[in-house]
Amino acid sequence: MARLWPLSRPSPTARPARLVLLLQDLKFGGTQRQTLELARQDKIIGHPLEAEVRVAVSGELADFLADKWETLKAIAIVSELVAVEDAGPGAFRSEEFPELQVTVRAAAGEKCERCWMRSTTVGQDSDHPQICGRCATAVAASR
């Protein structure tokens, strides 16, 4: 099947190198990847791009992440990264960061043909019914 869209990912928002280093120090990415892999093995999601990752943090970690969710989402490359009060039953807990809980489920909505992420905005743009709102905006802006 011919691919309709180039295999490109949405360009991440600005990510200061310092923050990335801090996040790597926190092993946040590692924890999340591990969780995604578990979710894949359990057949909850087919691909990390289709995942909705729910993250609950408390204490110092919550303060640290308070203004960094957008950056985290850009780095994570999943359909949704949501900050929640309680990650719910069966949440992955990090030994290193006990104040961090992560759960993964399939994101709601259809799969976008341009970025492969799931979004409830797919189908809303009548000019581009097969892509998500974010991609429709990007396509419109590139013309």
Instruction: Give residues in contact with Zn ion (CB under 5 A).
Output: 112, 114-115, 132, 135
Shortest distance, CB of residue 96 to Zn ion, whole angstroms? 33
Is 29 or 123 the residue whose CB approaches Zn ion more closely? Answer: 123
**Phi then psi for 87, rounded to 5 degrees?**
-70, -10
Shortest distance, CB of residue 141 to Zn ion, whole angstroms? 13
SS3 125: coil
Shortest distance, CB of residue 134 to Zn ion, whole angstroms? 5
Shortest distance, CB of residue 112 to Zn ion, whole angstroms? 3
Q: Residue 130 corresponds to which tokens in the numbers above? A: 């097969």
Is 28 or 73 the residue whose CB approaches Zn ion more closely? Answer: 73
Question: Residue 128: what residue type?
Answer: H
H helices of 2-132, where?
A: 17-26, 28-41, 59-65, 69-76
At which residue do the structure tokens 């289709």 appear?
Answer: 50
How many residues comprise the chain? 143
Is 57 or 122 the residue whose CB approaches Zn ion more closely? Answer: 122
Is 41 or 142 the residue whose CB approaches Zn ion more closely? Answer: 142
Q: How far is CA 114 from CA 6, 7, 82, in A?
A: 7, 7, 22
